[in-house]
Structure 1
Amino acid sequence: MAPDLQGRSASPVSQAAAAGLLASGLAPLRRIGGETIRRFGLQPAQSDALAGSLGRSGSLEVRLARGPSEVWRAQRVRYRVFYQEMSAKPDVVSRMVRRDADRFDAACDHLLVIDHAARGRFGGVKPKIVGTYRLMRQDEALRLGGFYTQSEFDLAPLIARHPGKRFLELGRSCVLEPYRSKKTVELLWHGIWTYIRHHRIDAMFGCASFDGTDPEDLALPLSFLHHHARAEGEWSARAHGVRHVAMDVLPAQMIDAKLALKQMPPLIKGYLRLGARFGTGAVIDRQFGTTDVLVILPVEAIDQRYVAYYGDEGQRYAA
């Protein structure tokens, strides 16, 4: 009943972060001061009310990161998936520290799935982070100067049309390959559902990615999203003009829906099942070797099957 998850909504380490890390001499965590922690996204922004476990299934637990070391570990998981497994190209600092990080991390809550039965290098039990999602609320984004997604898509008109609604950006989604199972994914979505209920979120959005940077190679799935799942009216949004890549590569009558869905990344198929719609126009991200689309999901549009499955207050995997 849950969408599968394997993807990313990410950006490379910012120039400011790179300079700061080099200036710090890549010091161990215990030697990094509080201001550096805040500046480079190592201090979670979570509220005390969500500091406990958000859910469990067997040895797996979903919760928010509780301190700088857990954010660093989540960034390391992101690096493994985005740079070592997928096609992202790390800059010199990312390669040296083996972490995926940017300036937005400091304004986000970091949702984690932790395997408490994982084994360490010498065979002993050593809990480890196996999946993560980055969550940025609108008030935190305003303090930072905007959402990450706004670097690719023009969200200002969308947000302006809903002045009383609370928006949440979803990004940096990834799960380690051995854990890409229904259980892990359901725990992540259980955590998100608990989070949006607690913060009374009205709508979610974020970037989702196709591998590859040639729209012609992605003609069928992009055209399907444009013709059959495009956000319209008050929920519409577009890629920035200078980065806009047309998604209607094929006319509607040429689309084989079954084949198009088969070509969708699991994350995008999952969003579709939930009831999401997609922005107009895609964006090519050459740093990550992907074609990005904008996902828009008002909470009121979530398929009621999923609401019933997780419970109105997220009871299904309650700890």
Structure 2
Amino acid sequence: MIALTKGRYKARVASTPEELARAQAFRATCFGLQVSRDVDAFDGRCAHFLVVDTKDDALVCTFRMLDLSGAKVSGSYSAQYYELSALEAFEGRMVEMGRFCIHPNYRDPDILRIAWAAVTTYVDENDVQLLFGCSSFPGTETAEYLDAFAMLKARHLAPKRWLPRVKAPDVFRFAARLRRKPDFRKAMAHMPPLLRTYLMMGGWVSDHAVVDRQMNTLHVFTGVEIGAIPATRKRLLRAIA
């Protein structure tokens, strides 16, 4: 059972139906959904992580991990939006991280640090070789993210052998459309924290973003091959874990 502490925060895996329901209600609040709980068919197959403030047991972050051992990548949440057949040839255990959210009133960087420490522990304990998911930009308008997308095109596109193909009906093909040189400062200012962390670990993205109007986001498929994470970054993550 994973249980970690960093500063005033503790990360653990949900172990009861009540804790899962708490995570689902928290997700609905963070995503601005007009329902009491964010529930889907994948929840029952996932390990759900909670990060709580030890001062008052307030839930400040949650995410889930879907182990694809013995299952095809086509059975993942991401496969609803991206054509992922290329990844069927990937050798090694794959896990999808999803529904990642942090309470908007909490800006302490220790929250993201302990969340990634929990991910690192899970990856190490389960010999995961590919971690992937959908990384979201708030809203569905692309204008303020053009430098971020230009940087993704210039530096972080998936290797051709793993590149997801278009499947969703509404997408922004930034790799094909953008011709601008990215402004690094503007790009990083508009890069979502979760995606920024993926990229620091050597992660890569799809060449297009999906426009998800139901969740009011733009998201890119994001993958990180564990064996390719820089050694210094691995040491930092494991030091926290």
TM-score, length of structure 1 as denominator length: 0.70
In structure 2, distance between residues paired with 1:230 and 1:151: 20
Calculate the aligned-residue CA RMSD, in Å: 2.1
- 1:82 is aligned to 2:31: yes
State the Cα distance separating 1:288 from its structure 2 match: 1.6
In structure 2, distance between residues paired with 1:145 and 1:232: 19
In structure 2, distance between residues paired with 1:244 and 1:261: 22
| 2:62 maps to which of 112, 129, 132 | 132
State the Cα distance separating 1:309 from its structure 2 match: 1.2
- Aligned twin of 2:81: 152
- 1:316 is aligned to 2:240: yes
State the Cα distance separating 1:63 from its structure 2 match: 1.3
User: Could you tell me whether the CA contact under 8 Å between 1:275 and 1:301 is conserved in 2?
Assistant: yes
In structure 1, distance between residues paired with 2:168 and 2:25: 34
Q: Whose helix proportion is higher, 1 or 2?
A: 1
Structure 1 residues 218 and 177: alpha-carbon distance in aligned structure 2, compared to 1, 3 A threshold: closer
Bigger relative CO (Cα 8 Å, ≥ 6 apart): 1
State the Cα distance separating 1:307 from its structure 2 match: 1.0
- Aligned twin of 1:174: 101
- Aligned twin of 1:64: 13
User: Could you tell me whether the CA contact under 8 Å between 1:274 and 1:303 is conserved in 2?
Assistant: yes
SS at match of 2:140: coil
Structure 1 residues 302 and 129: alpha-carbon distance in aligned structure 2, compared to 1, 3 A threshold: same
- 1:105 is aligned to 2:43: yes
In structure 2, distance between residues paired with 1:198 and 1:116: 25
Q: Tell me the percent identity.
A: 28
Structure 1 residues 214 and 114: alpha-carbon distance in aligned structure 2, compared to 1, 3 A threshold: closer
In structure 2, distance between residues paired with 1:181 and 1:275: 24
User: Could you tell me whether the CA contact under 8 Å between 2:93 and 2:129 is conserved in 1?
Assistant: yes
In structure 2, distance between residues paired with 1:235 and 1:257: 26
In structure 2, distance between residues paired with 1:111 and 1:241: 28
- Higher-Rg member (1/2): 1
Q: Which runs of 5+ in 1 are unaligned?
A: 1-50, 84-88, 119-126
Q: Which runs of 5+ in 2 are unaligned?
A: none
Residue identity in the other structure for 1:286: R
State the Cα distance separating 1:257 from its structure 2 match: 2.7
- Aligned twin of 1:116: 54
